[in-house]
């Protein structure tokens, strides 16, 4: 049986729950191995379970993810209390990288760490809070590292995940990274 939530844990969960979308969309498939989403989707056991993610890359630092067996048991207990079915799901390998979503954030400093984590995955979900700036930037860096041009990476991610909108600083860093990968 899972341990009871501490008052601060419960308050944190309730605040995050209130900020998340009530009916989040499913993850966006970028490649057969790479998916992109918001924190709302990443916190939804019923949405995640069918995808069999082996790894999840969290770029918001903190969120309401269910990343341990204990957290999954607690979430399933809450689901049952609300009259919903429990979800059978094994937690994937998690990596949290706290990246502020600000144009002056040096996101390029974490490109290699994130790309290496993604390359170890059979199937990875990359997410940030809204799924619009940080996570798409990292997914595009991954595609560029695998040979895509900046424009190709942006088009591929935007087609699969239309809400993609990296901030101006992230976009500039991606273009510089792409030029460096090409040797310009």
Strand partners, 37: 127
CA atoms of 15 and 114, how far apart (whole Å)? 28
**Does the annotation count 114 as an active-site position?**
no
Q: Which of 60, 95, 114, 128 is catalytic?
A: 128
**Residues 62/129, Cβ–Cβ less than 8 Å:** no
Based on its alpha-carbon atoms, the radius of gyration of the chain, rounded to whole angstroms, reads: 17
Q: Can you give 17-33 as a three-state secondary structure string?
A: HHHCCCCCCCCEECCCC
Q: Is 124 helix (H, G, I), strand (E, B) or coil?
A: strand
User: Closest Cα to residue 156, out of 136, 180, 176, 126?
Assistant: 136
Q: Is 61 helix (H, G, I), strand (E, B) or coil?
A: coil
CA atoms of 149 and 172, how far apart (whole Å)? 14
- Residues with catalytic annotation? 128
């Amino acid at each position: 049986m899972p341990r009871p939530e501490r008052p601060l844990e419960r308050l944190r969960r309730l605040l995050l729950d209130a900020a998340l979308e009530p009916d989040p969309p499913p993850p966006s498939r970028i490649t057969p191995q790479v998916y992109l989403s918001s924190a709302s989707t990443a916190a939804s056991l019923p949405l995640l379970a069918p995808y069999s993610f082996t790894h999840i890359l969290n770029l918001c630092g903190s969120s309401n993810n269910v990343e341990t067996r204990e957290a999954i048991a607690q979430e399933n207990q809450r689901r049952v209390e609300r009259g919903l079915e429990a979800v059978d799901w094994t937690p994937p390998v998690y990596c949290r990288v706290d990246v502020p979503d600000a144009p002056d954030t040096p996101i390029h400093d974490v490109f290699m760490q994130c790309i290496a984590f993604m390359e170890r995955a059979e199937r990875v979900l990359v997410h940030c809070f809204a799924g619009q700036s940080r996570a798409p930037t990292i997914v595009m860096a991954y595609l560029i590292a695998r040979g895509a041009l900046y424009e190709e990476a942006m088009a591929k991610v935007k087609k699969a995940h239309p809400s993609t909108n990296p901030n101006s600083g992230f976009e500039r860093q991606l273009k510089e990274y792409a030029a460096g990968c090409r040797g310009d």
